[in-house]
Amino acid sequence: MDISSKKLPVILIIVLVGILLLQFMTNDNSKPLIDPETCELYIVDSQINTKTYLDEFNTKCLDFKNLNK
């Protein structure tokens, strides 16, 4: 395949879009989790395996905790 071929850019774009889609499908860090004790939202950093709190609270969790008191 010659570098001046018209098919090469199309093939490269398809390969790069495929890699991008694969990264989005395997990335599960974007889903916030809920701390059961404080009802605060956090994400887990898979590289260093730590929690990063987002300073946001789940209102349903807080309401449920208030009902149990």
- Domain-located, residue 57: yes
What are the distances in angstroms from CA 52 to CA 10, 30, 69?
40, 12, 28
- Domain-located, residue 2: no
User: Which domain, by its residues, includes 48?
Assistant: 7-67
pLDDT in the model for residue 23: 85
- The total of structural domains in the chain comes to 1
Q: Read out DSSP for 32-54?
A: -EE-TTT-EEEEEETTTTEEEEE
Q: Please give the mean pLDDT across all residues of the chain.
A: 83
- CA angle 29-62-64, nearest 5°? 110
Residue-wise pLDDT tens digits, 28-50: 656 778 888 888 998 887 778 88
Q: 1: Cβ–Cβ under 8 A, 6 or more apart, which residues?
A: 7, 8
- pTM for the predicted model, two decimal places: 0.50
- Domain-located, residue 55: yes
Q: Mean pLDDT across the stretch 38-65?
A: 85
